[in-house]
Amino acid sequence: MINVTVWNEGRHEKASREIREVYPEGIHGAIASIFKDCEGINVRIATLDDPECGLPDDVLYTTDVLIWWGHMHHHEVPDELVEKIHGRVLAGMGFIALHSAHASKPFMKLMGTSCTLRWRDDDRERLWTVAPRHPIAKGIPQYFELPNEEMYGEYFDIPKPDDLIFVGWFKGGEVFRSGCTFTRGYGKVFYFQPGHEQYPIYYNETVRRILYNAVLWARPDGQYPPLSCPNTEPLEK
Amino acid sequence: MINVTVWNEGRHEKASREIREVYPEGIHGAIASIFKDCEGINVRIATLDDPECGLPDDVLYTTDVLIWWGHMHHHEVPDELVEKIHGRVLAGMGFIALHSAHASKPFMKLMGTSCTLRWRDDDRERLWTVAPRHPIAKGIPQYFELPNEEMYGEYFDIPKPDDLIFVGWFKGGEVFRSGCTFTRGYGKVFYFQPGHEQYPIYYNETVRRILYNAVLWARPDGQYPPLSCPNTEPLEK
Amino acid sequence: MINVTVWNEGRHEKASREIREVYPEGIHGAIASIFKDCEGINVRIATLDDPECGLPDDVLYTTDVLIWWGHMHHHEVPDELVEKIHGRVLAGMGFIALHSAHASKPFMKLMGTSCTLRWRDDDRERLWTVAPRHPIAKGIPQYFELPNEEMYGEYFDIPKPDDLIFVGWFKGGEVFRSGCTFTRGYGKVFYFQPGHEQYPIYYNETVRRILYNAVLWARPDGQYPPLSCPNTEPLEK
Amino acid sequence: MINVTVWNEGRHEKASREIREVYPEGIHGAIASIFKDCEGINVRIATLDDPECGLPDDVLYTTDVLIWWGHMHHHEVPDELVEKIHGRVLAGMGFIALHSAHASKPFMKLMGTSCTLRWRDDDRERLWTVAPRHPIAKGIPQYFELPNEEMYGEYFDIPKPDDLIFVGWFKGGEVFRSGCTFTRGYGKVFYFQPGHEQYPIYYNETVRRILYNAVLWARPDGQYPPLSCPNTEPLEK
């Protein structure tokens, strides 16, 4: 059983009728619905305004893959929670950072870089698969289109990805490394660019398939040793 | 002109005559001496107990490459200074983390991982060059030996290096990814494992050559754009 | 169903009673026995002296993962067969090169390098896992030992691996990148160093587990588009 | 002194007045002119129709960096010459494959993949720098435009690059990994996509700067050990 927790800031949905119309269930509901009928996957949702930001210890410490969507309120996520999330990733929890989560505290702490990029509303994207054998690319076509998306453009200040899976083409002339993987401790991290709140991107079938693949890829597959600095005996006499 | 600053915790030298005998100039003096007669390189030293930890703004903001040796007092480096160092690396300053600096605040912040490893005193190391065309490996032989060195062993919890340059063999049976590079923002980072304080490792000619190569490799070679998230106009009509 | 074909030169077994005593079933039989009771895996064996080297089209074109052990007779593998194997890998067939197969025609063609290394009989190896989250490392301990093994030492002239999974420590003082992955076309390639014919290495439980993991990792998971250079219409008007 | 040899098929220039008007000196002359006034660089040109394809031993074995432009006549390059070029790269000679050289024999042999891609005439490209600290990107802006260029599009069947430096955006909707590095043996390889013969791309200042940077990056910086499989004595008793 893979326990997925979908964390969404959840403020756009409260503030804007337009966003509620795009996402009646919230962005978190839309993403969680990917997994609702999946045998072997149990999904929970959490938002910033839930008690303990929806991630009390009994949720966070039983989460196998944490999916994160945040945008305008990264600063409201308590540093103490960010530390716990970071520790969970190092211990093996998968972390999937979506769209504006590039600027979230957990993602930035895991990356160690500024995670900055250029952006513009009202664009259109075509994502190309450049690592077709990567598990996250399973069943994903050579390219797919998002008729409406916010442009994210290079230079994207991330560490060199372990693997670059998708490259985005934007109508306005930019490109972006739209699907990147990293390993931190025993945890697997996937950054996926699509997901501006104004468009029903998380209902797009290809996006949903990618997130499904990413959960299978990122989930821990066992117990990992503690990360510590033991003083060890020689293995040779 | 490359401005190098060699930062050393400097506490071992104060506390232990044995260490003072190995490093009469301090670890910082030994490393700084690599560059003393190099045309085009200006070297300064800094220690934890200097005013502002030896890194007041007028030093830190004119440093091109910061070399860091710390061991038992990482916690005494103020978080505010760590933030500034991190910002300087993202802006282009090179950062060379030596030996026990794997657990330093600046290195851990740049990596986003626990940076843990296993260890043991009183071992012997042979470092093998596995990326002979890397600039840091220039003029370095296929292998070289450190007759006395503390063992650092895998699993070394770092992100996957951009490049793995040296792999260490230890008499006690362990291996270690002893020379690893990373890019963070516009800054280049090199982690180099050798350097236990009890042995005159920084007087070893091959180690000195590697640090010289690393400074040339890590130094910024121009001014870089600010890292920000600008809202940009389309490049296409 | 994953169709695995285990290809072994098979000459040592014919020439040497000592090797027959280590591998009564041949190296190919020992490796094939890993998969004999695996649901979902069908294993075949092939040797150099079989008709068409054991890889007639009806076998090669129905093989999902080809495991290759060769040593002294690489030159006897016909170039025409090597071309077919190469084409199959590009089309998605997994390829696992074992031990002395570093110098095999198929592996060298896939790598584009000399694949040279240093070597010596009568050594002992300890392999360390440096990518614990890689699928090939699933269930594999932090390190494991081969009490008798031929030393393979750096500098191993391969392209930079996509992932470095295992690093070997040898008693005689050398290290080696003992487990490396590559992608070629739609095919996945794993080079695994252990396997000198004089020792029952392919009966070692950890080695067997690694080969099992590698087959699951390397197998194609669908049909892939043909690799060609099509002249395509614009996707934008 | 860096000895650069610029090799161009040279057939377009002979067959087409249109191409001669774009490149009166030939593509080779245009590229060679980048280096004509560079202190420390000596440039020679060579074409397919020269004796021994312009690469007799006394030229090939004194070349530090070989730049290669070929398109419709890859098959006319003798296999024996390709073997020598391959050997020279492994021994340390830099190799820069330009544009349609993706399908050249030397490049394909070095890659071990099909090197296929999709293409279309009459497009426009904007190249984005995604590895701004790479030596090849020195002095190169965040993006630059080629008002006329043939589209090369993903999926580009190359091994995972050691470094991805440039990503191309094409007006027709495609993206391409337009600047990629690899190491083969002791040799450095750079693939650079721009350069359709119908447009004066090699007179573009940014392209010329990139090729200059690439020569400095790719040149051998010493003598390298022979690549062989020596039987070595233990380094430990």
Provide the mean pLDDT of chain A: 98
- Cβ–Cβ below 8 Å for C128 and B174: yes
Chain segment D128-140, per-residue pLDDT in tens:
999 999 999 999 9
A168:D175 CB<8 A: yes
Cβ B186–D224 below 8 Å, yes or no? no
Those residues whose C-beta lies under 8 Å from the C-beta of residue A237, and which sit 6 or more positions away, are none
Q: Please report which residue ranges of chain D form alpha helices under DSSP H.
A: 11-15, 17-22, 26-32, 57-60, 79-90, 105-111, 205-218
Q: What is the 3-state secondary structure (H, E, C) of D169-189?
A: EECCCCEEEEEEEEEECCEEE
* Digit-coded pLDDT (tens) for D45-102: 999 999 999 999 999 999 999 999 999 999 999 999 999 999 999 999 999 999 999 9
Q: Choose among A151, A148, A133: nearest CA to A204.
A: A148
Partners of A151 in the β-ladder = A120
The confidence score (pLDDT) of residue C33 equals 98
β-strands D41-47, D2-8 pairing:
parallel
Position D12 scores a pLDDT of 96
The overall average pLDDT reported for chain D is: 98
pLDDT at C191: 98
d(CA D136, CA D217): 7
**pLDDT over threshold 90, residue A185:** yes
Q: Return residues 133-192 of C near B (CB < 8 Å).
A: 142-143, 153-156, 160, 163-164, 167-170, 173-175, 177
pLDDT, one tens digit per residue, over A33-44 is 999 999 999 999
Q: What tens digit of pLDDT does each residue of D189-232 get?
A: 999 999 999 999 999 999 999 999 999 999 999 889 999 999 99
pLDDT of residue D228: 97
Checking if the pLDDT of C237 tops 90, the result is no
- On average, the pLDDT of chain C sits at 98
Alpha carbons C176 and B117: distance in angstroms, whole number: 20
Rounded distance between C-alpha atoms, residue C221 and residue A93, angstroms: 25
Which of C113, C118, C231 lies at the smallest CB-CB distance from D119? C231
> Within a 13 Å sphere around the CA of C20, how many CA atoms are in the beta-carbon half?
6
User: Domains along chain B?
Assistant: 2-114+178-218 (3.40.50.880)
Query: CB atoms < 10 A from the CB of A66, how many?
Result: 25
Q: Is the pLDDT of residue C53 over 90?
A: yes
* Mean pLDDT of the D15-37 span: 97
Percent of chain D with pLDDT over 70: 100
Residues A172/A78, Cβ–Cβ less than 8 Å: no
Query: Mean per-residue pLDDT for C48-57?
Result: 98
pTM beyond 0.90: the answer is: yes
Q: Please, which pLDDT band fits residue D178 given cuts at 50, 70 and 90? A: very high
Q: Which of A172, A228, A233 sits opposite B235 (nearest CB)?
A: A172
Percent with pLDDT over 90 in chain D: 99
Q: Is the pLDDT of residue B237 over 90?
A: no
Reply yes or no on whether the pLDDT at D237 is more than 90: no
CB atoms within 10 A of CB A211: 24
**Nearest CA-CA distance, residue D28 and chain A, Å:** 31
Helices (H) and strands (E) in chain A — how many of each? 7, 9
Question: How confident is the model over C159-210, as pLDDT tens digits?
Answer: 999 999 999 999 999 999 999 999 999 999 999 999 999 999 999 999 999 9
- pLDDT tens-digit readout, A122-135: 999 999 999 999 99
C-alpha C214/C-alpha C216 separation (Å) is 5
Chain C residues near residue D120 by CB distance under 8 angstroms: 231-234
Q: Is the pLDDT of residue C7 over 90?
A: yes
Taking only Cα atoms into account, the Rg of chain B, rounded to an integer number of angstroms, comes to 18
* Cβ-based contacts of D172 with chain C (< 8 Å): 234-236
Count the residues in chain B: 237
| A216 band by pLDDT with thresholds 50, 70 and 90 | very high
CB nearest D186 (choices: B133, B225, B236):
B133
Q: Neighbours of C (≥3 Cβ pairs closer than 8 A)?
A: A, B, D
Say yes or no to pLDDT of A237 above 90. no
